[in-house]
Structure 1
Amino acid sequence: MLKDIICEAINTRSELRVFYNGGYRTIEPHRMGIANTENTLLRCFQTSGYSESGETVGWKLFNVRNMRDVSPTGVHFLTPRPEYTLADSAMHRVICEL
């Protein structure tokens, strides 16, 4: 199940390669949770790949149901990104987090 793959990546600090909204991206998943709309969201830091906005590196918020072809890259990140915070107004309930 996709949520299990994402939580495992968060727990092991593993990069993921995902197809999302038109292209492949490499991400560091930091938190997955439930929004007020009941959508499952993923807060992640994108390190490379496609971006509709043109911002190929930076913080992203993905709707998990739109993620496809999710797989670990085999690369691990050692620490959360400096800007990472436990306060996340986009999610009212956390499923898994760093």
Structure 2
Amino acid sequence: MSSIIEQAIAAKRKLKLYYIGYSRTVEPYAYGLCPDGLPLLLCFQTEVQGSVRTPNNWYLVRPHEQVMIKMLEDSFTRFQPGYIRNHPAFHTVLIQV
């Protein structure tokens, strides 16, 4: 799963995150480890089905809790407002745009 996330960030391609009963289309911006050592993904939501958007559309995801992650053909070229490189939620950043 981490290789799909890393490939999507490197290629600036959107991901589809599938949960039980709903899905989110996101632009992945950073992937790494949170302070407790678990994987963490910083992404911007572009589409949500069956759920409420976060207030500013930025979303921190623990990918190990996802049912499925799929890389899409769609790409993104501009940075969304509010993007923070080396986000403080990460203990270690493995890859970021």
The verdict on a shared fold, with TM-score over 0.5 as the criterion, is: yes
Conserved? CA contact 1:30–1:45, under 8 Å:
yes
The TM-score normalised by the length of structure 2 is 0.88
The separation in 2 between residues aligned to 1:39 and 1:87, in whole angstroms, is: 16
CA distance in 1, matches of 2:85, 2:66: 23
Alignment correspondent of 1:4 = 3
State TM-score, norm by structure 1.
Answer: 0.87
How far off its partner does 1:59 sit?
A: 0.4
Equivalence for 1:59? 58
**SS of the counterpart of 1:10?**
helix
Maintained 8 Å contact 1:21/1:66: no
Mapped to 1, the partners of 2:25 and 2:82 lie a distance apart of: 18
Aligned partners of 2:8 and 2:14 also within 8 Å: yes
Flag as ranges the 4+ runs of structure 1 deviating above 3 A: none
Q: Say whether residues 1:84 and 2:83 are aligned partners.
A: yes
Percentage of pairs with the same residue: 28
Which stretches in structure 2 are left out of the alignment for 5+ residues? none
Q: What's 1:40 paired with? A: 39
C-alpha distance in 2, partners of 1:78/1:92?
26
Q: Aligned Cα RMSD in Å?
A: 1.8
Shift of the alpha carbon at 1:21? 5.8
**Consecutive unaligned residues in structure 1, runs of 5 or more:** none
Distance in 2 (alpha carbons) for counterparts of 1:19 and 1:3: 15
Match in the other structure for 1:19: 18
Q: How many residues are treated as equivalent by the alignment?
A: 96
How much has 1:68 moved relative to structure 2?
2.4
Q: Distance in 2 between matches of 1:27 and 1:60?
A: 9
Give the partner amino acid of 1:80: F
Give, as a single letter, the amino acid of the residue that structure 2 aligns with 1:91. Answer: F
